A and B are shown apart, each in its own frame.
Chain A
Amino acid sequence: MKAILTDTTKCIGCRECVIACKKRYNLENDIPRRWSAEDGLSARNWTSIIERPDDRYIRKQCRHCLEPACVSACPVGALSKNKDGAVVYDSVKCMGCRYCMMACPFGIPRYDWDRQVPYIRKCILCADYIAKGGQPACTEACPTKATIFGERDELVAEAHRRIDENPGKYFNRVWGEHEIGGTQVLYISDIDLSFLTYGQSLGTEPLPDRTSPAMHAVPYAFFGMASLMAGLSWITSRRTKLREQTEEKEEGGEDE
């Protein structure tokens, strides 16, 4: 399982990652539009640098969750997790319902709002490059090694090593290690990164687990309801029949 570790204390905000990403995937011009969010991500910006007070720079991108809400939400399976763990998108399947955008707790997927044929656009962890043994454009371009690429286990260990070796420097937390089941894009930082989830702290329960009880109940609900209705219908029709018979009998009795 591949991963990216971003150490925000090393980031100088040069945006080489943003440029590399745009160049690799030929992403077009991007001007802030009515529908743009304030974080700088858009259909044509798959990663962005968020500037925080006191010269803090935080690179935002798709978190490539281990159990992604978007993949579980997509009704046609257009989003899927490949063998390296990258959450990739198949535009052929997509029907444009935007449920993935609603489901993502990080608010990552973006839409081609100005296109007549719009697609969902987001970071795909350079899936085609890492499959060939390469690495994502962003980590390759980073001049200060603030954002690095590697195996997830190793990077989690590296993150903890950095936190332990520099007491007091970092927040004692690896963002993305456990939240909603863990993500493949990890952060360590000297500031609180909860603004990436709009100030909320995410639990450790993976989001697809929230829907699965309801989805598992579907066949039971269907056949349960159907047999309940069939049973009730049988009872009511039998009752009507019996009543009619008694009435007939009574009528017959009068006749005799």
Chain B
Amino acid sequence: MNRVRNFKLILWMILGLGAAVATARFMFGLGVTTNLSDRTPWGLWIGFDVMSGVALAAGGFVLTATVYIFKLDKFHSIVRPAVLTAFLGYAAVAVGLLFDLGLPWNIWHMIIFWNPHSALFEVGWCVMLYLTVLLLEFFPVPAEEFGFLSKIRNFLIRLRLPLVIAGIALSTLHQSSLGSLFLIMPYNLHPLWYSPILPVVFFISAIGLGLMMVTFESLFTAWLYRRKPEMELLERLGAAARWVFLLYLAVRLGDLAVRGQLVHLGGGEWQVGMFWVELAIAVVIPTVLLFIRAVRRSPAGLMTVAITSVTGIVLNRINVGGLVHINRGDTLYLPAWTEIAITSAVIAGAAVVFLFMVEKFNVWERRPADPDAEPTRKPKFHPVDGSWLGEPGIAARTKYSLGFIIAAAIGFALLSGGPVESRGVDPTPARMARGGDTLWIDGNLDGYGTSFPHLEHIRRNGGGRSCVKCHHMNLPHDRNSACYQCHSDMYLRTDAFRHDRHSSPTGANLACTECHVKGQVRNVESAKRCDECHNDLVPPGSSIKVKQYRAVSYTEAMHRTCIGCHTIVATSKDKPDLSRCTTCHKGQRNVTDATVLASQKRRLIGKRMVLPPIYRK
């Protein structure tokens, strides 16, 4: 039973890593723990956890229909695991969604705030109801073990047929409505995927995927617990799946042909390649393989088919869910490792519960021996290598716990530092300007800016010690703070004083009375001035007096510094144009454009233009 134990150890380690990432996700928000952005607001957690999760759990309704509606009683032995998989799949979708939602504590809001125009509203309701139905469908299985539940159990068994029918109808709705979600995005979704019959396409592929998932899950757990796979049933499932796949292929291509969208296949975009890859691994290769009898009859062959088509249909959901959206600018979204960690942890969690249910209750016709417990073995001390051979069950659980903790520790170690702490921009200390004679000033980094002859200004202002005329202030313990570190907003006044940094135990940890006068109301007026403690803020000889902790906006700071001086020089040297806008704002060039940047570079050789760091990527 080592196989099961090792597999469980891996699952618990994934859960440990996920726990660390989950903590960070809720502590720091979505921005630093995912690769989602304003351009790509949906990512792996929607494309895989939700869209694919729901489709992967389609086996439940397909098999309950087979057994309870079409009365193919042969399949009865795999209904229980299929319903359990479906229940855990939907529970995993709900849990996964909690990570993706910005305000997960409001997830129940759909119950009281209604918007029946929204496809997502419909999906949400169906998933909630279907989760309940699945719970009621599966409840009799664990209830077998507890005598006092027998009344409820008998009642639910009598209620089975209505429950099955409700489950099938609800599944039909939300499996297809997951496709309806994207009907509202005709200008975003690539035309090879967008179609008014997306709901139908999603429904058909969900049936195919459901059959393949049941196959995969049966074969995998059979391997895991060294059971004999139900090959006769699986062969028939495979035989049915090929017709579903053929139907899917026909609908998909037929739809494109009827609506005249096949022309897009001639395009050279990467999405066209993606379309073919997706179609090939989702349906074409599996169908061809399923028509070969030898493949259908061998566990290895069926497993190959199942893995291929599951990958392909999951890829389809991820594509539709955000990958092949064309209105997203140049940004290509790839999931961050943290997102992958959470996704894997959600799946691992579902798998752990599945194994638990299988071992403790009669999910299969024959319950496997509990791999964690061999009660006949007595704990003993090994005399040679000194190791303690505890009761195997306990030993395995100790191992799982250790694995969980170690993985969580590794997760926290990987998370700390950079991405979480960063404010998102590289600081540009003033020393970067040294050695260049012209600076490109572009505060909002939109590519348009002014070229500022730095060297020329130093020369005219008297060289060496004249820096302080403009560079009037530094942050404490710093000698070359960047302008934006205090003037941190383009247009608004900002507060350059950080109260938390002074008062918090992780900062300077000052007592209130160190700055505020004792006995008086603690406010700005009763506080010490910054320079009473920090005597290195304003360099001696600075032309600008810093009186307060409020910083003017970046634009205003730049304009005041330049225009103030320029106005004086304009009168004294009789050059009235010097204080006009166009003196500085001339020849604005978009340097983010690669070709312009290249020519810019050529022209600026010799002038040694210093560009902001964002241009140097």
Tell me the chain A residues, 96-116 only, with Cβ under 8 Å from chain B. 96-99, 101-103, 105, 107, 110-116
Q: Which has the most chain B C-beta neighbours within 10 Å: A29, A111, A197?
A: A29
With A32-B444, A197-B187: A95-B169 Cβ-Cβ less than 8 Å:
no
Contact in complex: B29, A118 (CB < 8 Å): yes
Tell me the B101-135 residues at the A interface (CB within 8 Å).
101-104, 106-107, 109-110, 113-122, 124
Partner of A76, one of B27, B110, B181: B110
Is B176 at the interface (CB under 8 A from chain A)?
yes
Known contacts A19-B491, A214-B199; A198/B107 CB under 8 A: no
Task: Give Cα distance in the complex from A38 to B331, angstroms.
Answer: 10
In the complex, per-residue mask of A218-234: 1 if CB is within 8 Å of any chain B CB, else 0: 10011101100110110
Question: Which of B38, B103, B180 has the most chain A CB within a 10 Å cutoff?
Answer: B38
Residues of B within 8 A of A214 (CB): 119, 176-177, 180, 183, 199
Whole-angstrom CA separation of A166 from B103 in the bound complex? 51
Q: Tell me whether A75 and B492 are in contact (CB under 8 A).
A: no
A16 to chain B: closest CB distance in Å?
9
Residues of B within 8 Å of A37, CB to CB, are 37-39, 329, 331
Q: How far is the CA of A207 from the CA of B36 in the complex (A)?
A: 25
Question: Could you tell me if A36 and B491 are in contact, using CB atoms closer than 8 angstroms?
Answer: no
Residues of B within 8 A of A203 (CB): 186
B-chain residues with CB within 8 Å of residue A225 when the two chains form the complex: 168-169, 172-173
Cα separation A36 to B38 with both chains bound (whole Å): 6
Check if A78 is an interface residue, CB within 8 A of chain B.
yes
Q: Does A34 contact B (CB under 8 A)?
A: yes
Chain A interface size band reads 35 or more
Stretch at the interface among A66-74, A143-151, A168-176: A66-74
A interface footprint on B324-342 (CB within 8 Å = 1, 0 otherwise): 0111110100000000000
Which chain A positions have C-beta within 8 A of B425?
Answer: 31-33
Partner of A31, one of B448, B484, B491: B484
| A55-90, CB < 8 A from B | 55, 69, 72-78
Q: Is the CB of A76 within 8 A of B187?
A: no
- Judge whether B103 and A96 touch: CB under 8 Å: yes
Given known contacts A51-B590, A96-B104, A221-B173, A73 and B38 CB-to-CB distance under 8 angstroms: no
Q: Does any Cβ of A come within 8 Å of B349's Cβ?
A: no
Choose from A30, A95, A98 the contact partner of B41 (Cβ within 8 Å): A98
Which B residues, 79 to 99, have Cβ-Cβ distances below 8 Å to chain A? none
Instruction: Find chain A residues with CB under 8 A from B455 CB.
Output: none
Question: Given the complex of chains A and B, what is the CA–CA distance between A31 and B484 in angstroms?
Answer: 9
Nearest neighbor of B487 in chain A, beta-carbon distance: A29
Report A-chain residues with C-beta under 8 Å of the C-beta of B119: 73, 211, 214-215
Q: Does B527 contact A (CB under 8 A)?
A: no
State the B residues within 8 Å of A (CB).
26-32, 36-39, 41-42, 65, 68-71, 100-104, 106-107, 109-110, 113-122, 124, 161, 164-166, 168-170, 172-173, 176-177, 180-181, 183-188, 196, 199, 322, 325-329, 331, 423-425, 444-448, 484, 488-492, 494, 555, 588, 590, 614
> What are 10 of the A-B contact pairs (CB < 8 Å)?
A18-B490, A32-B445, A38-B329, A51-B588, A74-B115, A76-B106, A95-B104, A97-B120, A102-B41, A114-B424
4 closest Cβ contacts across the A-B interface? A96-B102, A113-B31, A33-B424, A35-B37
